[in-house]
Amino acid sequence: DYTRAITIEPKYAFIYYNRGNAYKDLEQYENAIADFDRAIAIDSQYAGAYYNRGTAFAKLEQYENAISDFTHAITIEPQDASAYYNRGTAYYYIKQYEEAIADFTQAITIDPQYAQAYNNRGNTYTDLEQYEEAIVDFTQAITIDPQYAQAYYSRGIVYGTLGQYEEAISDYSQVITINPQYANVYKNRAAVYTVTNQIEAAESDLVIFFDLGGTLSEDVRISFEQRGVTVPGS
């Protein structure tokens, strides 16, 4: 019982740290942050407390605070690839793409097998419309982790954007093999099938998409129908 332990030994930073982690696991992020605050007040060099407070801030979408904490963690432990990765992700969410790429690259330098860092750098390149670089990164993420559904999904989006429709369909199909409950991939594959005039295949995918609880915006629904696709519920 962390609360009882704190009553007995209120100066033990790691007890606040552990209770903060327990709160974070329960998605009680404000309580977690308060405990990490206490741990840091006791031990200002507690890299783990800065790091985990940063992840809690990120969950609350307080990205500037998260970046500050990850920076503290990196200053204390400059070889922590996860801190660079998480700071890069926070930079990505506030659209500071150059900083995000630099952090993902540093994470990869420290840990060349960091599939998520390749994936998120690929997402950053995608947002910058640097599609070839994005494909390289998604491919590397897949090479490291062949079951990485999100990397196939993201690469499929880029292939579709580039008009490489066979490759897009292949990647979306691979996502479905890995995770057949991934609703949006059926919608995306249906869109590519529609562009390539495979109307029955598109309609089949949309049926599954709706069965999995998916919904279409009105403009997307109209776009399918204008290309001759019968949308379920229309």
Structural domain tally of the chain?
1
Instruction: Supply the range of the domain harboring residue 50.
Output: 1-112
pLDDT of residue 21: 97
pLDDT for 3 equals 56
Tally Cβ neighbours within 10 Å of residue 76.
16
Residue 66 included in any domain: yes
Give the integer Cα–Cα distance in Å for 137 and 142: 9
Q: With contact defined as beta carbons under 8 Å apart, do 85 and 117 qualify?
A: yes
Residue 198 domain flag: no
| Six-digit token string for 183 | 């609703």
pLDDT at 12: 82
Alpha carbon distances (Å) from 54 to 11, 82, 108, 172, 197: 22, 11, 20, 33, 47
pLDDT beyond 80 at 9: no
Q: What is the CATH number of the domain that holds 51?
A: 1.25.40.10
Predicted pLDDT of residue 6: 47
Residue 33 located in a structural domain: yes
pLDDT tens, 125-163?
999 999 999 999 999 999 999 999 999 999 999 999 999
**Average pLDDT over the chain, rounded to whole?**
95
- Taking alpha carbons only, the member of 181, 167, 178 closest to residue 209 is 181
pTM: 0.90
Residue 208 within a domain: no
Integer Cα distance of 52 and 207 in angstroms: 42
Give me the mean pLDDT over the 174-188 stretch.
98
128 belongs to a structural domain = no
Other CB atoms within 10 A of residue 81 CB: 19
Within a domain: 3: yes
170 assigned to some structural domain:
no
